[in-house]
Amino acid sequence: MTASATYTPPKVWKWEGQDGGAYTSTNRPIAGPTHEKELPVGKHPLQLYSLGTPNGVKVTVLLEELLALGHEGAEYDAWLIRINDGDQFGSGFVEINPNSKIPALMDHSTEPPTRVFESGSILLYLAEKFGAFLPSDSALRPECLSWLFWQMGSTPYLGGGFGHFYTYAPEMFEYPIDRFTMEVKRQLDVLDRHLAENRYMCGDEYTIADIAIWPWYGGLAIFQQYGAAEFLDVESYTHVMRWAKEIHSRDSAKRGRMVNRVRGELHEQLRERHDASDFETKTQDKIEAAE
């Protein structure tokens, strides 16, 4: 299929409610809020506004890891932002993230409170704030940041490219699926070769680079992200599989993955988290059983 066979672009593109597939109700070509809505603020220093997608999970895994290490200042309230309902376009959310995408964080332990958006920036902010999961060694630190930024730059081809055309587009089109499959398999091979020589992304130390990469590329392998494990032959990337399973065995990774989750098994959904005990008492299976 060629682009010219099916579509001749007009001189100037106009927004006429084009079908963007599964996200057509929220996709739009302008920024800014669509409605007034203040965000709730809970009792903890850190207020997270998010959803349990891979970008959201990065932050909740790091927060759970920090708490497991004993950093009490990492206690957080995680509020649910339903992107399919347009919550990311509420005025309060846009004040924290002018780009209208989850995750977004407010740190109320600073005066004035600090807003942080972009998941990579949130990981770096928290790692620096608590002095954890970011090597201080002058050789390892840039290695860690290189892989962190690799994830931020590479994953749009996986999510917005491959995932969109394989799962969300209104029809299956061979050209974009081929193009993005090629790139995603190349990325998996980049990871596989690196993980053949390294236990974690930066050697022996588990860092924010692993925490950033795992929900996406581990997600393909372990959580059937996009239902594409067989199509991409993810099992053949044996070192990625080994690494993904090792991280999945961590309690903090399991907990972080439950937070702000609205899909899948009910006992794995903790739609909002306001206290560590919520993992025992407020998962969706328990909430629905009590109703």
Ligand X SMILES: N[C@@H](CCC(=O)N[C@@H](CS)C(=O)NCC(=O)O)C(=O)O
**Which chain residues interact with ligand X by CB under 6 A?**
26, 53, 55, 83, 88, 100-103, 118-119
Q: How near is the Cβ of 28 to ligand X at its closest, in Å?
A: 8
What is the radius of gyration, based on Cα positions, of the chain?
A: 20
Q: How near is the Cβ of 155 to ligand X at its closest, in Å?
A: 8
Looking at the Cβ atoms of 55 and 284, the one nearer to ligand X is: 55
Alpha carbons 185 and 166: distance in angstroms, whole number: 14
Looking at the Cβ atoms of 118 and 268, the one nearer to ligand X is: 118
Looking at the Cβ atoms of 114 and 287, the one nearer to ligand X is: 114
**Which residues sit opposite 76 in a β-bridge?**
46
CA distances from 205 to 122, 143, 194, 261 (A): 20, 11, 14, 28
- Which H or E run includes 130? helix 119-130
Q: How near is the Cβ of 116 to ligand X at its closest, in Å?
A: 10
Determine the Cα angle at 149 with ends 147 and 153, to 5°. Answer: 115
Q: How near is the Cβ of 69 to ligand X at its closest, in Å?
A: 24
Looking at the Cβ atoms of 18 and 236, the one nearer to ligand X is: 18
Looking at the Cβ atoms of 47 and 55, the one nearer to ligand X is: 55
Helix, strand, coil percent values for the chain (each to nearest 5): 55, 10, 35
Q: How near is the Cβ of 248 to ligand X at its closest, in Å?
A: 20
Cα 27 → chain centroid: 18
